[in-house]
Amino acid sequence: MFLFGKQKTPKEVLRENQRDLNKSMREIDRERMNLQNQEKKIIMDIKKMAKQGQMNSAKIMAKDLVRTRFHIQKFYEMRTQLQAVSLRIQTLQSTQSMAEAMKGVTKAMMVMNKQMNLPQFTKIMMEFEQQSDRMDMKEEMMNDTMDSVMEQDDEEEKSQEILNQVLDEIGIDLASQLVDTPTATAQTVSSAHKVHNG
Q: How confident is the model at residue 89 (pLDDT cuts 50, 70, 90)?
A: confident
Q: Is 139 exposed, middle or buried (0-12, 13-18, 19+ CB in 10 A)?
A: exposed
**How many angstroms separate the CA atoms of 106 and 52, rounded?**
79
Cα-based distances in Å from 152 to 145, 146, 148, 165: 11, 10, 6, 20
**How many angstroms separate the CA atoms of 102 and 94, rounded?**
12
Name the residue ranges covered by the structural domains of the chain: 10-115, 154-198
Average of per-residue pLDDT across 3-20: 77
8 Å CB contact between 94 and 11: no
Cα-based distances in Å from 61 to 48, 53, 64, 74, 193: 11, 14, 5, 20, 138
Q: Is 60 exceeded by the pLDDT of residue 43?
A: yes
In single-letter form, the type of residue at position 192 comes to A
- Evaluate if pTM is beyond 0.75: no
Cα angle 88, 90, 95; round to 5:
95
Q: Is 60 exceeded by the pLDDT of residue 132?
A: yes
Cα-based distances in Å from 86 to 9, 28, 82: 19, 14, 6
Residues 6+ away with beta carbon under 8 Å from 103 = none
What is the chain's mean pLDDT, rounded? 79
- What are the φ and ψ backbone dihedral angles of 20, each rounded to 5 degrees? -65, -40
Residue 165's pLDDT is 76
In single-letter form, the type of residue at position 41 comes to K
